[in-house]
Structure 1
Amino acid sequence: MRILQPSGWPAPKGYANGMSAEGRLVVTGGVIGWDVHGQLPPDFIAQVRQTLRNIAAILEAGDARPEHLVRLTWYVVDMDEYLASLKALGQVYREVFGAHYPAMALVQVVRLVEKAARVEIEATAVVPR
């Protein structure tokens, strides 16, 4: 796996501009922060933490680990809430995935399928051969 950083570009903080990898692909659908009982925590950071844990569990089921992630696409219902939570988000992210930062995109949406969900994340991982 290789981080793609064009010469002369400023270093991104908390994500990579691009990733290159060869191996077996593991992808998730849109994952939200519900627990095994289908319950969503009420607050944004708790939902992000559980969403990341859920992604880690899916990766494990596919014999992958967070360091195999090459892309995350985040869908949030409130960009201001996301931006106001950057420090806590960084802590939660590192708690679950460590200091591995794949290519990421962040998109604000009107709402998610589960009305109480504040965040949904899709993940792509490549497991080396």
Structure 2
Amino acid sequence: MSRTTNHLLIGGLIMIMAASTVAPVNANDSRLTIVNPKTLYDPSPNGYSTAVIMPAGARVAYISGQGGQDSTGGLSPDFAVQVKQAYANLRAALDALGARPDKVAKLTVFVVDHDMSKLGVLTQSAKEMFGETLPAQTLVPVPKLAIDPMLFEVEAIVMLE
């Protein structure tokens, strides 16, 4: 057996073993399955989930980073205002796709000059938008974004029906 085939087989076995720790998913179910393993820290109080499984055959859309610009392109100098506006912009993009927040599988958020004082704003905004259906999420601290006054940006991967 070639080394490549061996690696593929081992990888497949690992995936099968990992999948066995997740509750079975109904093949006809069109919902996202949230996975927060009991052996890991529970991230839900912080506004996100460890992993999210999309059902087989789901159509996927990728939403570009949404910043805190209002409809005129203006940016508030306040971090919390920018975060609130960025999530409103994300919601507008979801609406344009015919998607709901509970269909967002993954977020990546970019925070300029991140520090722990910003986590409360981020957590509250995510919980307000997603409720109990918290997507998987990664926070990336950055020194700056595309436009100098930008302090926050959020991109999303969403399941379409």
User: Would you say same fold, with TM above 0.5?
Assistant: yes
Cα offset, 1:84, TM superposition: 0.4
Structure 1 counterpart of 2:149, from 106, 116, 123: 116
Residues 88 and 110 (structure 1 numbering): CA distance in 2 closer, same or farther, change over 3 Å? closer
Which deviates further from its counterpart, 66-75 or 87-96?
87-96
Task: Tell me which residue corresponds to 2:35.
Answer: 4
TM-score (norm 2): 0.72
* C-alpha separation in 2, matches of 1:96 and 1:15: 11
Q: RMSD of aligned C-alpha atoms? A: 1.6
| Contact 2:68-2:150 within 8 A present in 1 as well | yes
Deviations 1:64-97 (A, max 9, x none): 01111100001111111xx203333333333333
Task: Tell me which residue corresponds to 1:125.
Answer: 158
* Percent of pairs with identical residues: 36
* AA aligned opposite 1:90: T
**SS class of match (1:70):** strand
Greater Rg by CA: 2
**SS class of match (1:107):** strand
Higher relative contact order (CA 8 A, sep 6+): 1
* AA aligned opposite 1:72: L
Task: Tell me which residue corresponds to 1:25.
Answer: 60
Task: Tell me which residue corresponds to 1:87.
Answer: 120
Task: Give the number of the structure whose residues are more often helix, by fraction.
Answer: 2
* C-alpha separation in 1, matches of 2:157 and 2:114: 23
* Alignment: residue pair count: 126
Q: Given the alignment of the two structures, is residue 99 of structure 1 paired with residue 109 of structure 2, yes or no?
A: no
* C-alpha separation in 2, matches of 1:92 and 1:6: 24
Unaligned runs of 5+ in 2: 1-31
